[in-house]
Amino acid sequence: MNNLPHTHHSQPGWQRWPGILLALAITVLAVSGVGALLWQAPAIEVSELWASAYLRNVLVFTVWQAVLSVTFSLLLALPVARALDRYRVFIGRTLLLRLMELSLVIPTIVAVSGVVAIYGRQGWLTTTLGEWVPFLKWNLYGINGIVLTHVFFNAPLAARILLQAFENAPVAQRRIASQLALGRLWLWRAVEWPAIRPVLPGIVALIFTLCFTSFAIVMTLGGGPRATTLEVAIYQALRFEFDFGRAALLAVVQLLICGALWWLALRKGISPTLAPDRALTQNDRRKNSSRVSLLTNTSLLVAFTIFLLLPLIAVFFRGFPGLADAFLQPSNGVSGSGLCSATIRSFIIAVPAGFLAVVTSLLILFASNPRISSTVSRLCETSAYVPLVVPPLVLGTGLFLLLRPRLGVPSEGLVLVSLINSLMALPFVLQLLRGAFKNTAPATLQQADQLGILGWHRWRWIYWPRMRRPLALGMAYGIGLSLGDFGVIALFGSPGSPTLPVLLYQQLGSYQMQAAAATGLWLILLLLFVFGIFSLLGRRSPTVEKQTLHSRRILEPTHA
Amino acid sequence: MLDVRNLTFSYRPEDRPWSFGFKVAAGECIAINGPSGSGKSTLLSLLAGFLEPATGQILWNGTLLNPLPPWERPMTSVFQEYNLFEHLNVETNVGLGIHPGMKLTPFQKRAVTDGLIKVGLKGLEKRMPAELSGGQRQRVALLRAILRDKPVLLLDEPLTGLDTDTRDTLRAMLLELKASGTTIVLASHDEEDRQVLADHQWSL
């Protein structure tokens, strides 16, 4: 007999196989995607990478904008997280936190339209600044806009994760620190730095990857050989130049760079908490803040809130008249602009994608039980992060080749888009579910083992009550990410039947600014609707359950 | 009769293994003595099946328990802490001990309600464990163990850190349980606990 705990028995193999197979399928998909491109390529010139000025530029630009984006995001996120950690009770804190979460799901293309409305040539801020400081030359298009938008998206994400790390610092440490009246430097060294050090490599790797593989933002704000990322170059190589060899080469380069970064970040087995946990500690007001830091922190938080809100306000104000028109005059509005059919199409893609992402995440979590095999467990979870580094295009190509002989239906494209979207959402959804699933204390599992709470009962009584909210949130994220997707649909959709983001892109391209603003606002409203519904679903059940239990108890005397 | 024969275990292969061996008759209580770190908790985990011994046998009335998973062993554990499912209310915590899927007959439901009254937690069915004091939590844990009705009770410092009144209540419950035929293996630092509950002592 071996020396491992008995708890093995409590998870039969059939619960693990689906997840392992799915993880394998994802890996096969990525490999076959790259493989297919390499196969199709007539001849790959690796030397092209440094010989061709274009490719060299693309590579340098991709890395450079990602480095800048990571740096600025962290420089903004760190003080914001510290300030939020220091002041745990103030009016609007929760609202600000929700606003920061929103950045994860706002469709890039909508955010870009908001950013343009503020910082673009005709933008509010640009024109105002132009009057005050006329000598200031600011051009949104190119690296400025790309980095700015990346910071808009990633600073709140980083701040949320950092805040969570700060809040997880032991309360006792905090109290001792404030009792000793530690100065700012020592507070940082003794409490704050140790708290964030474990998550920092993960954050850097995540934001770098997101910026490195950025597509929609670069498509809209960049362009030209001087502001193109690898992901866009791959798209162009495949869609316009039909140069499979170059696409494969670039995909491999992207894979190598991002893969190496993740390997470096996770080498020590630190698991990055990539998605902010919603359970925030509501502690009392802390007493270690001087008046000066109160002032600086307040202004910092106000500035940050304005930075996040401005583009959204712009989308709202510019979109409102157009949206009102679209609904009040259906003849040339909703149906005329195709808003209605685009909405339906978007949901047909997004709902299955969200559902699939949640189910796949769950199965992968079930499969990755480190107590059984740490290798299998690590492989399973790593496979879920593959979509972060492998371009959707490459995944799509793999999927296309794998499914091609079977799928003869006309909606083939939509199925493909839905599948790839669910893959793209996988890393985020998995991260949301992971915490709730893995944080089940060993003592709890032992108790469950002893009481024989196994199989379905285990799911119902041990996992489900704890995972109901993350599951609902995961569905919302999955659907939301896919609703706002522009990258995958741009590759596999046809312009004749657009989803909402594609419609928005087309409207921007044909200078129908009011219609575009309306579409953007509509998309945001739909997202809020999706999140509202699912947070309601995640929250409502406990009371329902309580009520049914209660009513059963009241009815009891008639049985007895 | 619980018969533990030459049970050995070590967390790391290079450590010198612990070795356990004793017998308890049905309806009796044996106290395991030894300083902290001497393997008391490990022994209880081995008996419950949370850990697997390197060698040796655990026999209950002549049946070998070693191959059985925790849920098929005739045992219930009560630890010093973390006995309850923090995300489930008191009623569910107790009920899951009776049926692992909460499928309770009206009679069993009544038993839970009555049991809570008996341990002095009347009307706290819907409370979450976090809303209870340490003593109340321990009463819930013990009530679950009682209603689960397994022949062997494994107690790991079950009364440590509780106030005198709660200790008295719980001791009385344990004595009653023993009188009704439950075999108890008790690991406790507390001399008084051992005096009151144990019929035999075994030192590590």
CB-CB: which of A5, A9, A556 is closest to B51? A5
Q: Which tokens is A510 given? A: 């044909």
What number of C-beta contacts closer than 8 Å exist between A and B? 90
pLDDT for the residue numbered A557: 31
Is residue A373 a contact partner of residue A412, using CB atoms and an 8 Å limit?
no
Alpha helices in A368-512 (DSSP H): 374-389, 392-403, 412-438, 442-450, 455-457, 464-483, 487-492, 500-509
Contacts of A3 in chain B (CB under 8 A): 52, 54
CB-CB: which of A449, A461, A549 is closest to B96? A461
Contacts of B77 in chain A (CB under 8 A): 446-447, 450
- Which position has the higher pLDDT, A325 or A447? A447
Q: Are the beta carbons of B52 and A2 separated by less than 8 Å?
A: yes
In a mutational test of the B interface, the residue from A4, A6, A549 whose CB has the highest number of chain B CBs within 10 Å is A6
- Which position has the higher pLDDT, A328 or B173? B173
Contacts of B51 in chain A (CB under 8 A): 5-6
Compute the distance between CA of residue A375 and CA of residue A22 in angstroms, rounded to an integer.
16
Percent share of chain A, pLDDT over 90:
15
Interface check for B49 against chain A (CB to CB < 8 A): the answer is yes
Distance from CA of residue A356 to its chain's centroid? 16
Give B47-87 pLDDT, tens digit per residue. 998 888 999 999 999 899 999 888 889 999 998 888 888 88
pLDDT for the residue numbered A281: 46
Give A176-211 pLDDT, tens digit per residue. 777 777 777 777 887 888 888 888 888 898 899 889
Interface check for B79 against chain A (CB to CB < 8 A): the answer is yes
pLDDT for the residue numbered A545: 42
Give A307-326 pLDDT, tens digit per residue. 999 998 988 888 888 787 77
Using the 8-state DSSP alphabet, how is residue B125 labeled?
T
Is residue A32 a contact partner of residue A390, using CB atoms and an 8 Å limit?
no
Residues of B (154-193) whose Cβ lies below 8 Å from A = none
**Counting Cβ atoms within 10 Å, is residue A379 exposed (0-12), middle (13-18) or buried (19+)?**
middle
Regarding an ipTM greater than 0.85, the answer is no
CB-CB: which of A6, A443, A444 is closest to B52? A6
Q: Are the beta carbons of A457 and B100 separated by less than 8 Å?
A: yes
DSSP assignment string, A211-275: HHT--HHHHHH-BTTTB--HHHHHHHHHHTS--HHHHHHHHHHHHHHHHHHHHHHHTT-PPP--S
- Which position has the higher pLDDT, A165 or A407? A165
CB-CB: which of B70, B73, B88 is closest to A461? B88
Interface check for B64 against chain A (CB to CB < 8 A): the answer is no
Beta pairing class for B55-60 and B2-9: antiparallel
CB-CB: which of B76, B85, B100 is closest to A454? B100
Q: Are the beta carbons of A450 and B109 separated by less than 8 Å?
A: no
Q: Are the beta carbons of A9 and B88 separated by less than 8 Å?
A: no
**Where is mean pLDDT largest: A121-130, A235-244, A319-328, A415-424?**
A415-424
Compute the distance between CA of residue A212 and CA of residue A140 in angstroms, rounded to an integer.
19
The model's pTM is 0.77
